[in-house]
Amino acid sequence: LKTKAAQEGISIGEAVTKAISEWLGLTKKKKRSIIDIEPEHFGYQYRNLSEEIDEVIYK
């Protein structure tokens, strides 16, 4: 394990974590980015909702 960690350039702790994850069959979670978030369409009746809320709050 120590040799494998040195070959991959990772610490022994990371190697142990990786080995246990593979042994348990855990899938690696993909890192999510805010860029991946898609806008959601709520319909045209809510087009000016933020402006209406601003009128109520800041009146």
Reply yes or no on whether the pLDDT at 31 is more than 80: no
Asked whether residue 9 is assigned to any structural domain, the reply reads yes
The pLDDT value given to residue 42: 81
Q: What is the mean pLDDT of residues 18-28?
A: 79
Helix, strand or coil, per DSSP, at residue 2: helix
Reply yes or no on whether the pLDDT at 29 is more than 80: no
Q: Say if CB 10 and CB 3 are below 8 A apart.
A: no
Q: What is the mean pLDDT of residues 32-58?
A: 86
Asked whether residue 22 is assigned to any structural domain, the reply reads yes
Q: Say if CB 12 and CB 5 are below 8 A apart.
A: yes
DSSP 22: H
Reply yes or no on whether the pLDDT at 34 is more than 90: no
Asked whether residue 17 is assigned to any structural domain, the reply reads yes
How many domains, in total, are found in the chain?
1
Asked whether residue 10 is assigned to any structural domain, the reply reads yes
Q: What is the mean pLDDT of residues 8-14?
A: 90
> What are the distances in angstroms from CA 49 to CA 1, 32, 37, 57?
58, 29, 21, 12
Boundaries of domain holding 16: 1-28
pTM for the predicted model, two decimal places: 0.41
